[in-house]
Amino acid sequence: MIGGGLAGLSSAVALAEAGIHVRLFEKRPHLGGRATSYTLPDGSEVDNCQHVTLGCCTNLADFYCRVGADKKIRSYGRLYFADKQGRRSTIKSSVLPPPLHMAPSFAAFCSLTIADKRSIARAMLAIARAGGHPSGVDGASMLDWLHRMGQTPAAIERFWRVVLVSALDEELARISARYGIDVFWKAFLGSRKGYCVGIPTVPLADLYDGCREAIVRRGGEVRLRTGVREIRVHHDQFAGAVLEDGSEASADACIAAVPHDVLQNLLPPEMTANNGPLEGLRHLKTSPITGVHLWFDRSVMTEPFLTLLDHTTQWIFNKSLLHAAGETNGCAEGPMEGAMTGSTADAAPASGQYLQLVISASYDLVPRSRQEIIDLCLRDLAGVLPATREAKLVKATVIKEVNATFSPEPGVDRWRPCQASPVQNLFFAGDWTSTGWPATMEGAVRSGYLAAEAVLAASGKPRKFLQPDLPCEGLSKFWARRRENRR
């Protein structure tokens, strides 16, 4: 296994469980890839960027359970929003059956007019009635589709853009309509719990403690600080991996679970050249995410997290409160309403607060200086969290991930290779491989499970790891079935 991100780890753990002797080579000193944390020179541990999962991410949930990380994820059933006027709204589930379960809180959403809400409801109904697959979306951008659906400018800006830019790390004009619609179907319309936000109660690197153990216990090996510099291919067969120290590792099969741009440099150049079997790798584009970490001398926020409308800052995470949330009930399902501002707010440290802000598709911030970005974010915070105006900023860090995720632009699927490569005994895993999902932790784990299935199938011992989606409920179940029957 080359690469110890979520794709490599999930694949390695699955294969080890199936009795395969796995050796994992990871270039960095820690596991987790993009979804990890590290220690700053002053000793504070920060996530590379806040990562959240959703209830519809069934394979990531399965992986967390396998490695004992599920108890370190807390699920939140309420989403908090704040607009430029400082007005707060909450979205949560009601007793109504899907896809109507969020309708009462949506009706009370104070940052949208009745005309905005009517247009959104019409588009949501079109998605639901088509079982998540409305016709005529192939090749269209999400923005094209929203215009076609007669969405008001405020509905686009204050609703669709807010959800999708964070979920898919791209602007609406560059998002494939199929990917955008899928987010709403899987998270908000198909089932009652698909939207529940899962947030780690520990630094991200602590989620992977059980991975190494799961591999080593079954006779495998995890080697950190061990980069691979070349994948050798001979007569269309995997012929070994050359490590950075010049030594060579051989194996019956190899899974390359590195980012797609790294893979291009490891493979023989003719494979990714024009008309080569993996030419598509060169066509995948990437988009940036900026994380801003702010430490205040006092408490400035009571919510666990907040989504901002009409601001540069898109999400604020109250890290002090989220990390004070403690262990959860493991794989227990459903929203944990107790984890809101009440009981866990009391558990937050009395003085000082650490917030993490996230800006996805942050193209405009890439050329800006660290100080400019901090000043911009502080201006955003002054409006929605008035306590920050008086508070002293003790420390701040900005982490720009310029190539954070691949861009889910229309037609992107034709560039994403499947897990079984054109080379015998060489397989691929990574959020960029063909999974049907965008670049997310769920997509990475799906790719890892699919790669493990491909390795086992090729060795004559087929086994399934991929988990089904959440079952559809209510009217959505009826519409999903009707679509299946028509196909």
Ligand X SMILES: Cc1cc2nc3c(=O)[nH]c(=O)nc-3n(C[C@H](O)[C@H](O)[C@H](O)COP(=O)(O)OP(=O)(O)OC[C@H]3O[C@@H](n4cnc5c(N)ncnc54)[C@H](O)[C@@H]3O)c2cc1C
> Which residues of the shown chain bind ligand X in the complex (CB under 6 A)?
2-8, 25-28, 33-35, 49, 51-53, 227-228, 257-259, 262, 289, 291, 401, 404-405, 430-431, 439-444
* CB of 429 or CB of 456, closer to ligand X: 429
Residue 141 three-state SS: strand
Minimal distance, residue 74 CB to ligand X, in Å = 15
Q: Which two tokens stand for residue 459?
A: 């060795």
DSSP one-letter string for 424-447: BTEEE-STTSSSSS-SSHHHHHHH
For 87-139, the DSSP string reads -EEEEE--SSPTTSTTHHHHHT-TTS-HHHHHHHHHHHHHHHHTTT--SS-TT
> CB-wise, 83 or 169, nearer to ligand X?
169
In the complex, the smallest distance separating the C-beta of residue 145 from ligand X, rounded to whole angstroms, is 23
* C-alpha angle 321-326-331 in degrees, rounded to nearest 5: 120
> Minimal distance in Å, beta carbon 158 to ligand X?
21
Backbone angles phi and psi of 81, in degrees to 5 = -125, 150
Q: What does the alpha-carbon distance between residue 27 and residue 32 come to, in Å, rounded to a whole number?
A: 11
Between 431 and 473, name the residue whose CB sits nearer to ligand X.
Answer: 431
Name the residue nearer to ligand X (CB basis): 425 or 440: 440
* Residue nearer to ligand X on the CB measure, 8 or 180: 8
**Type of residue found at 362:** S
Contact 69, 208 (CB under 8 A): yes
Paired residues of 401 in beta bridges = 289
Q: Which is nearer to ligand X, 280 or 443 (CB)?
A: 443
CB of 284: closest distance to ligand X in angstroms?
12
Q: b/e map of 75-84 (b: 16 or more CB within 10 Å)?
A: bbbbbbbbbe
- Would you tell me how many other CB atoms lie within 10 Å of the CB of residue 237? 11
Shortest spacing between CB 128 and ligand X, in angstroms:
24
Taking the complex as a whole, how short is the minimal distance between the CB of residue 137 and ligand X, in angstroms? Answer: 23
CB 387 to ligand X: min, Å: 26
Residue number with CB closer to ligand X (170 or 401):
401
